[in-house]
Amino acid sequence: MPTDHFADDPRTNLERMLAGDLYIADDPEIGRRVQRAMRLTAQYQEHYLEDPPKARSVLEELLAEVGEDVDLRPPLYVDLGSNITIGARTFVNYHLTALDVAAITIGDDCLIGPNVQLLTPTHPVEPEPRRDKLEAAQPITIGDNVWLGGGVIVCPGVTIGDNSVIGAGAVVTKDIPAGVVAVGNPARPIRSI
């Protein structure tokens, strides 16, 4: 039988999640929000080619904030959508996976390659709490004018500084400063720009 990790915490799992604390995702309110996001991402994809103004309206309903002249090519995969902010003139290519249990902030004038993953959720390393389905999350921040190459994975809690370039396939596990090119797994700066 799982341990009651929250016996002395009157908050709901949703409240714990939004506070950045450990929570259990199997929560009815979280489930409703995930279903809403799935419905809206499907509508966004449906309208993207045939009715761009309607697609933009759906994207604005899905995400926390969408800057002017954002071009986000579907399909798009999110947990909630409501924790994602995308700055003006940012281009996002196909198959963005943005697991936004915590905030994901993408700056202005960014280029996001295909199949990029922005992953805020974390899970305990210890086996018992992981078996009990505990998780948490840490925010991701991508500065202005950042280019994430195809297949980049950005891990929880990472900040990427303005004007940096992350090479295709890189796995970003730690903060990247502004104005560098970073590549590899784990991603490391290899030169200044």
β-sheet bridge partners, residue 84: 104
Distance from CA of residue 48 to its chain's centroid?
21
Which listed residue (5, 47, 95, 123) is catalytic?
Answer: 123
- 123 among known catalytic residues: yes
Burial of 15 (0-12, 13-18, 19+ CB in 10 A): middle
Q: Considering only CA atoms, which of 168, 167, 192 is closest in space to residue 178?
A: 192
Is the CB of residue 129 less than 8 Å from the CB of residue 110? no
The two tokens of residue 41 are 């991402």
The two tokens of residue 107 are 């700056």
Give the SS3 label for residue 142: strand
Burial of 90 (0-12, 13-18, 19+ CB in 10 A): buried
Catalytic residues: 123
